A and B are shown apart, each in its own frame.
Chain A
């Protein structure tokens, strides 16, 4: 049973436009959500996170939105750059758990075309 779902395996956008990556979850006990970016032949790197007590968190070009009632979060990248081309993983942590026990989605491959 997949508790964190990224239903779009891939997304292609033009440079300068907005990229929106989506993530849905089923476990209402999740209280902290993270996005990781992964380039080929490298490990995932932390991008941005959000606590369940918030509905938005911004860091430069990256914004994560959380809709708890819909169990949905999204990552917005504005403006998109070719260097943003990577696989993006959504991850969630259950309440009371430590940050190492993360449940990951399958990832979305973002391609930003020049």
Chain B
């Protein structure tokens, strides 16, 4: 049972480059979301999706795009990387049941130089 799988684990980008962080879950969860974790900042919500074809912005969406074409996958795209996007990114999913807890992936550590 893989749960939530994130790739890559590590990535270094130059300012201005674009890339996609991949997230896949095999639990048939309706909800998926992306968080970033910065030192001293806790986890902040970037974007989320309540089902295939439906996405919405979280607390810190600027500079990121998402799409949800399937239930399983929820990629996060950085359009033009900036040093301020250096962070650890976590993908999470949950069932569409009230108070069902989030299941997190193991994260992608991104460095933008």
B71 at interface, CB cutoff 8 A: no
Chain B interface SS verdict (over half): strand
Minimum CB distance partner of A107 in chain B: B42
Residues 78-114 of A contacting B (Cβ, < 8 Å): 89, 91, 98-102, 104-107
CB-defined contacts of A104 to chain B, threshold 8 Å: 35, 42-44
Please give the distance in Å from B104's CB to the nearest CB on chain A.
3
| A100 and B33 within 8 A (CB) | yes
CB-defined contacts of B96 to chain A, threshold 8 Å: 98
CB-defined contacts of B84 to chain A, threshold 8 Å: none
Minimum CB distance partner of B109 in chain A: A41
CB-defined contacts of B100 to chain A, threshold 8 Å: 99
| A43 and B4 within 8 A (CB) | yes
For A, the interface residue count at a CB cutoff of 8 angstroms equals 23
A22 at interface, CB cutoff 8 A: no
Whole-angstrom distance between the alpha carbons of A51 and B101 in the complex?
Answer: 12
Interface string of B44-57 (1 = CB under 8 A from A): 11001010000000
Residues 70-113 of B contacting A (Cβ, < 8 Å): 90, 92, 94, 96, 98-107
Whole-angstrom distance between the alpha carbons of A106 and B92 in the complex?
Answer: 18
Contact residue among A42, A43, A91, A100 (Cβ-Cβ distance under 8 Å from B48): A100
CB-defined contacts of A89 to chain B, threshold 8 Å: 42-43
CB-defined contacts of B99 to chain A, threshold 8 Å: 32, 49, 51, 99
Could you name 7 residue pairs across A and B whose Cβ atoms are closer than 8 Å? A42-B106, A44-B90, A46-B101, A91-B43, A100-B48, A102-B102, A106-B40
